[in-house]
Amino acid sequence: MTRDDLIKRIAEKNAGISLSDSRELVLDLFESMKSVILEGESLEIRRFGVFEIHHRKPRIARNPRTGEKVSVGERKSLIFRPGKILKLRMKNLTRKSI
């Protein structure tokens, strides 16, 4: 699903919201989420999950082409941990599809 698909789905499910209002709402939501995350804070959405920054320590890695050892500096990455309800629903979805 793309951002535009999400915008259309919100407008379709909510009769009082136009496509342009839906677009503005989604863009504002994503911008607010980015702002919180870039400030270094975790973002918890109850019953859905948590977005947080994970600090990766510097390490020695290997260049896959040459086999040469290279130093990889400290870096940050964004991780998502699903909430309990989302995990349970995914587990049930997986079981039903087997």
Q: What is the CATH number of the domain that holds 64?
A: 4.10.520.10
Distance CA 5, CA 9 (A): 6
Based on the domain organization, do 37 and 53 belong to the same domain? no
Distance CA 14, CA 10 (A): 6
Residues found in the chain: 98
Q: Which residue range(s) make up the domain with 70? A: 42-98
Based on the domain organization, do 4 and 31 belong to the same domain? yes
Based on the domain organization, do 18 and 59 belong to the same domain? no
For 57-67, write each residue's pLDDT tens digit: 999 999 999 99
Number of domains in the chain: 2
Residue 72 pLDDT > 70, yes or no? yes
Residue after which a domain boundary falls, among 41, 56, 71: 41
Nearest to residue 33, comparing CAs of 24, 41, 54? 41
pTM score, whole prediction: 0.73
